[in-house]
Structure 1
Amino acid sequence: MTRGGSGNMLGVGGTRRKLGRDALRGGDRGGRTGGGLSPQAQKRELLRKLQERQQDRREQQEQQDRRGTDAAGEAS
């Protein structure tokens, strides 16, 4: 085995950049290199979508209930 630098992988992948405390904790992503939403924004978006679906289902159920009530009233 050589003691030279042939197996040394230091420096591969670019230069190291110091990160601030906020960046280490996932905050302050205004410059977003990777894009995407923060975890809290993703959670808010998911919650909004779920609430919209739930509301749509309620409205559809109410419409079906009204149709059933109207049909039962005409039949008797």
Structure 2
Amino acid sequence: MAKSRNNLLGVGGQRKKLSRAEQQGAGPARDGDRKVAEDKKQELVRKMRERAAAADAAPAQDAQADS
């Protein structure tokens, strides 16, 4: 059976279901959770870069001490 071209139901996409807090203007709690997660990720990346820099500097210092 052919599709009807006059039926445009669902063409515009779906709307997100709003929680009660979102409906009352309190804003989604997810945004706060995402912010916390992003902050933790940035902190972890910073620590990893510091450790990598320290690990790269340590062999260079050992090489200079051996000379």
TM-score by length of 1: 0.55
1:65 to 29, 37, 55: 55
2:33 matches 1:43? yes
Aligned residue pair count: 49
Superposition RMSD in Å: 2.0
Cα distance, 1:38 vs. partner? 2.3
TM-score (norm 2): 0.61
* Amino acid in the other structure paired with 1:68: A
Q: Which runs of 4+ in 1 moved over 3 A?
A: none
Give the distance between the partners of 1:72 and 1:57, measured in 2 at CA.
23
Do residues 52 (structure 1) and 47 (structure 2) align?
no
Counterpart Cα distance in 2 of 1:56 and 1:70: 21
Identity, in percent, stands at 6
Tell me, in whole angstroms, the C-alpha distance in 2 between the residues paired with 1:51 and 1:28: 30
